[in-house]
Structure 1
Amino acid sequence: MPAFSKTRIAPTPSGFLHLGNAFSFILTAAMARLHGASILLRVDDLDKERCRQAYLDDLFDTLLFLDIPWDEGPRSPKDVYDRFSQHLRLDQYETVLSQLHQAGFLFPCACSRSDLANAGLNSGCTGKCLEKTAQAAAWKIADSPETIEILSYPSRFSTYPFPTAMKHLVVKKKDGFPSYHLASVVDDVFFGVDLIVRGADLWESSLAQLHLSSLLPTTRAFAHATFLHHPLLTEDGQKLSKSAGHNPIRQLRQTALHRKEIYQQASRFFGLEAEATNLREFTDLLDPTRFASL
């Protein structure tokens, strides 16, 4: 069984957490215990328009309710603002952005989503956008590889076609802030994360982030991380969404649902041989090779 140093729980406080988030937290914590890794709580709060105090409070309430431990990171909402907010690491992101720009990897693009759609594109650039204003431009990666290599759990290197939708990845948004992809790579390298547990919906994001990390010596350690993409909890065939208000944990708590019932549901969802009622039991029953999808 491989050994890992650190994994992370990295939610964005942009909505009330749902049952799918809870399942992912439980799996991540169990993977950490199974492999002797520590857990980092990383709050992705760069997007001030979407991140709200109520959602941040809900994050800590949910972790407490589920009895999910973590070893590093903020201990309270106030601690996020005081010591761990991504806004306190903007200089690190700007350093990487400057290095990417100086190395010639980036180009400015002011295309809107409608511009791309009207041109029959789902990513990239129309080539006409800078007739508008360079001040409104995002910065994107100029080139993409044909294939990308990823280290999938437990220890399997595989090569996949680079996703078309991730061509010309945005690394700096039009509002001047670094993108989620850039901040995520920089943070994982900075904190020494070597096991990344995330939903299957982020598979293409993982491949794109691996390409981004390969461009600079300071971020290449990201490529040594092992990825486990777990299946998604869905409703009517659609993945659960915080913004859509699917199955919020806060409502489940208000109906006197006990945490053991969530662990039992998570056990059935991940195909455990029996129903766990707490994290220790879930870890003991877990065989992640049974559902590692990619």
Structure 2
Amino acid sequence: MNRLQKLQLPAPITRFAPTPSGFLHIGNVYSFLITWLLARKNNGQILLRIDDLDQERVRPEYVENIFRTLEWLGLDWDLGPFSVEQFEKEYSQLRRMEVYEAALQKLEEAGAVFGCDCSRKLVKKLIEEHNYEGICQHKDLDLHAHDISWRLKTDGMTEVKMKLYKTGLSVEALPYSQSHFVVRRRDGIPAYHMASVVDDVHFGVNTIVRGEDLFESSVAQLYLAEKLGLSAFSQAEFFHHPLILDRGVKLSKSQRSSAVLDEFSQDKPRLLRKLGGWLALPPEACGSLEEMLSHFSFERVERTISN
């Protein structure tokens, strides 16, 4: 980060964006709570956007758990589906494939992507060695051939501007870890970066709350938005919050972190006290979401980050 400039912020339109690849854990809830508090404190709106493109990992019980957990907590939202049935019929990402395909076609027509047949393991190894230069870029592989992924050309990685929520404008270089990142998977499904950017623009999201582990992803998505000419995404504010760690390791569904409803269903006050403590709220402000909201300030979250 090399220069900052104060910004005038619009009313936030933000989102909960869970992936139904496991049951929601306390790290997910922590992120959703910050999102909810920021939106409600500033008369904003919240979209529920369930990211279900990776159908191999999606399970009906995981989708149902999203609604059950949010409703049990009392974290309400304004836009998107309000039931499993409505989600499947109207809001599944599978219903927006044409929108993603149009964005991918735009990149193809601009010559901004190349076909790749490298394994994910090989590319990861080369990136870790700081030795990945897009080795398939000059193979001229057919983009529409079987088992070919699409990678975005990131040669001469330029800087992107990121608006930090209530802080200022930051200038960031695309991280090496995001060199020539995938925008279309081998199976033809839009990759996470592509779907996330297109969805946020599609639904008018202008405030994005994420864990600090996704900071590099945010930079990559801003880079992609520039390639797609999606200026609305470039104008979004970003807030990257600290992570909840378990013995030094971040919580994740892939690590089978405990489901919130399994661990706290009989003791919701204990969960609220934990969450409030992480947000640096006084104990007397952790009895309910309404009390948290009345005591919450962005400055408290900033202090939590700096501690």
Q: Same fold (TM over 0.5)?
A: yes
**Kindly tell me: are residues 113 and 23 of structure 1, through their superposed partners in 2, closer, same or farther at Cα, counting changes over 3 Å?**
same
* Alpha-carbon separation, structure 2, partners of 1:42 and 1:66: 18
Stretches of structure 2 lacking an aligned partner (at least 5 in a row): 1-7
Percent identical: 37
Aligned-CA RMSD value: 2.2
Does the Cα contact within 8 Å between 1:6 and 1:194 map onto a contact in 2?
A: yes
Could you tell me which residue of structure 2 aligns to residue 251 of structure 1? 262
Deviation at 1:283, TM superposition (A): 1.6
**Selected match of 2:287 from 271, 277, 282:** 277
Deviation at 1:129, TM superposition (A): 9.7
Could you tell me which residue of structure 1 aligns to residue 270 of structure 2? 261
* Alpha-carbon separation, structure 2, partners of 1:146 and 1:283: 40
Deviation at 1:70, TM superposition (A): 0.6
**Kindly tell me: are residues 176 and 74 of structure 1, through their superposed partners in 2, closer, same or farther at Cα, counting changes over 3 Å?**
same
Deviation at 1:110, TM superposition (A): 1.0
Deviations, residues 55-91 of structure 1 (Å, cap 9, x unaligned): 1111111001100101111111111111100000000
Deviation at 1:128, TM superposition (A): 8.6
Return the letter of the residue paired with 1:143.
Answer: T
Q: State the SS of the aligned residue for 2:146.
A: helix
Could you tell me which residue of structure 1 aligns to residue 149 of structure 2? 138
Deviation at 1:169, TM superposition (A): 1.5
Please give the TM-score of this superposition, normalised by the length of structure 2: 0.88
1:228 matched to 2:239? The reply is: yes
Deviations, residues 171-227 of structure 1 (Å, cap 9, x unaligned): 10001000111010001001100110111111000000000001123x221010000
Q: State the SS of the aligned residue for 1:139.
A: strand
Question: Where has structure 1 moved over 4 Å in runs of 4 or more?
Answer: 117-124, 128-134
**For 1:19-34, what aligned pairs fall within 5 Å after superposition?**
19-34=26-41
Deviations, residues 13-56 of structure 1 (Å, cap 9, x unaligned): 00011111111111111111111111100000000001110111
Could you tell me which residue of structure 2 aligns to residue 291 of structure 1? 301
Deviation at 1:148, TM superposition (A): 2.1
Return the letter of the residue paired with 2:205.
Answer: V
Q: State the SS of the aligned residue for 1:127.
A: coil
**Selected match of 1:205 from 217, 220, 227:** 217
Does the Cα contact within 8 Å between 1:41 and 1:70 map onto a contact in 2?
A: yes
1:126 matched to 2:126? The reply is: no
Deviation at 1:94, TM superposition (A): 0.1
Please give the TM-score of this superposition, normalised by the length of structure 1: 0.92
Stretches of structure 1 lacking an aligned partner (at least 5 in a row): none
Could you tell me which residue of structure 1 aligns to residue 65 of structure 2? 58
